[in-house]
A = this chain, B = another copy of it.
């Protein structure tokens, strides 16, 4: 398979699809819409998980595990509350294959092993979890419950793309229960901030925090907080959501508690989640025509060392030179790979690690051995320099910090250049068409206008930014009065 990628300027979508496969992140499986996450891609996801998990625990959450299946009747309870809920799910109806294959060697589903009640493979776990919380909550002493779950979920998507939209995906879902409305709102807001901090400090992806409009809200939520990122092709990507659920689920599943005065009330709830979709955001924010660009804080391999040698003797000498360096880097918590394979040439390896986005590459050949130097290359700018051996550890440590910061700033600058204020619908359409990115415009607050704009331009309201100012204006579409700009974009 050629390592060469389609250029982003030629076909962004094709570039993305090729990159995911060629950088060994993921591939389509033999199961419709389900992906295989390959070791290199999974290692990035594990690094994401580790940081998020730490942040969840630092904010008082515990992990737990709830069943994969949701009995259909629990969906019905929820349905009364959240009518818009997607019905595209994997449904288990039987529990046995016939013991022997038929004459053609085909295994048949045993018709006698039909379930009395169908089971839905969880598309999200509010129903199963609130049905459980009902038994856990009697009094204010049992609150708050602050639980997170790392799990797989399934939504029967018709058009799928690796990481961005797959039938099965991995995610975490937090589900909390509180005694007061105030506490639940604070929790929902806190988790939006945690997500934003993770996106910006670890993924190096700047995000806009905001509130969803009613039509973009999670079914059953009173308020949906979100973080929105901007991809290099000018399309937005929703990177995480945190829902204040009010008492909706408590009412649907009859979850009441006795307060200190013994009075019964429904519990207040939140839920929040991010998924393997973040992998898509990571890839599309930083990568270039040569391949992935990974933020050092999430890169599975932060430094790769490629020896340039002829014969075992030279390799042995290089290995000896490199050994204490590797030790020193690892002692500093820097992950290093020394690629001494003799099955591939240095040039091939250079391309490979460029494609895989390894932040720093060291090369060492005959001349470096003589001069006691290394060639140090950074992935983000592709700049190279010769560094004396005794300075190389400090150089690498500084470079990793610098790359993390630099790719964040690049993404931030791109976003700054792609947030455009517009005041007429002509401009609105033109900006979306020609320049792309976020458009800040006045909107009259009605779902009808929102729908109409979406129909005409494919742009949706990504959010009402938290930092938006009151400002008198008129809706860019209807001309009706508005007191605040909202953020529009075409989105993934």
A interface residues, Cβ below 8 angstroms from B: 29-31, 34-39, 42-43, 45-46, 62-72, 74-76, 79-80, 87-99, 101, 105-107, 109-110, 118-121, 128, 131-132, 141, 147, 151-152, 154, 156, 168, 170, 343
Residues of B contacting A128 in the complex (Cβ-Cβ under 8 angstroms): 29-31
Contacts A39-B62, A95-B156, A101-B76: A34 and B68 contacting too (C-beta < 8 A)? yes
Residues of B contacting A101 in the complex (Cβ-Cβ under 8 angstroms): 76, 79
Contacts A43-B63, A67-B168, A72-B107: A93 and B96 contacting too (C-beta < 8 A)? no
Give Cα distance in the complex from A38 to B149, angstroms: 11
Q: Can you list 23 A-B contacts (CB < 8 A)?
A: A29-B66, A29-B67, A29-B128, A30-B128, A30-B131, A31-B69, A31-B70, A31-B71, A31-B119, A34-B69, A39-B62, A68-B121, A68-B154, A72-B109, A75-B97, A75-B107, A76-B105, A87-B96, A87-B98, A90-B95, A91-B93, A95-B156, A121-B121
Q: Is the CB of A107 within 8 A of B79?
A: yes
Q: Is the CB of B119 within 8 A of A90?
A: yes
Contacts A43-B63, A68-B34: A97 and B90 contacting too (C-beta < 8 A)? no
Residues of B contacting A75 in the complex (Cβ-Cβ under 8 angstroms): 97, 107
Q: Is the CB of B31 within 8 A of A67?
A: yes
Q: Is the CB of A96 within 8 A of B156?
A: yes
Residues of B contacting A121 in the complex (Cβ-Cβ under 8 angstroms): 68, 92, 121
Nearest-CB distance from A191 to chain B (Å)? 18
Chain B residue with the shortest CB-CB distance to A106: B76
Known: A35-B67, A39-B147, A87-B97. 5 other contacts (CB 8 A): A30-B71, A31-B119, A38-B64, A68-B154, A72-B97
Residues of B contacting A152 in the complex (Cβ-Cβ under 8 angstroms): 68, 151-152
Q: Is the CB of A42 within 8 A of B62?
A: yes
Residues of B contacting A80 in the complex (Cβ-Cβ under 8 angstroms): 105
Q: Which of B42, B65, B96 contacts A88 (CB 8 A)?
A: B96
Give Cα distance in the complex from A108 to B283, angstroms: 40
Residues of B contacting A119 in the complex (Cβ-Cβ under 8 angstroms): 31, 90
Residues of B contacting A71 in the complex (Cβ-Cβ under 8 angstroms): 30-31
Nearest-CB distance from A99 to chain B (Å)? 6
Chain B residue with the shortest CB-CB distance to A40: B62
Chain B residue with the shortest CB-CB distance to A26: B65
Q: Is the CB of B39 within 8 A of A63?
A: yes
Residues of B contacting A90 in the complex (Cβ-Cβ under 8 angstroms): 69, 92, 95, 119
Q: Is the CB of A34 within 8 A of B67?
A: yes
Chain B residue with the shortest CB-CB distance to A127: B30
Residues of B contacting A79 in the complex (Cβ-Cβ under 8 angstroms): 101, 105, 107
Give Cα distance in the complex from A46 to B54, angstroms: 13
Nearest-CB distance from A416 to chain B (Å)? 36
Contacts A64-B37, A109-B118: A93 and B93 contacting too (C-beta < 8 A)? yes
Residues of B contacting A38 in the complex (Cβ-Cβ under 8 angstroms): 64
Q: Which of B65, B76, B94 contacts A42 (CB 8 A)?
A: B65
Residues of B contacting A106 in the complex (Cβ-Cβ under 8 angstroms): 72, 76
Q: Is the CB of B63 within 8 A of A87?
A: no
Residues of B contacting A156 in the complex (Cβ-Cβ under 8 angstroms): 95-96
Nearest-CB distance from A86 to chain B (Å)? 9
Give Cα distance in the complex from A106 to B42, angstroms: 40
Chain B residue with the shortest CB-CB distance to A154: B68
Task: Name, among A69, A132, A168, the residue most crowded by chain B CB atoms within 10 Å (CB to CB).
Answer: A69
Give Cα distance in the complex from A79 to B101, angstroms: 9
Nearest-CB distance from A421 to chain B (Å)? 40
Task: Name, among A42, A65, A132, A147, the residue most crowded by chain B CB atoms within 10 Å (CB to CB).
Answer: A65
Give Cα distance in the complex from A66 to B152, angstroms: 11
Give Cα distance in the complex from A68 to B43, angstroms: 19
Residues of B contacting A151 in the complex (Cβ-Cβ under 8 angstroms): 152
Nearest-CB distance from A149 to chain B (Å)? 9
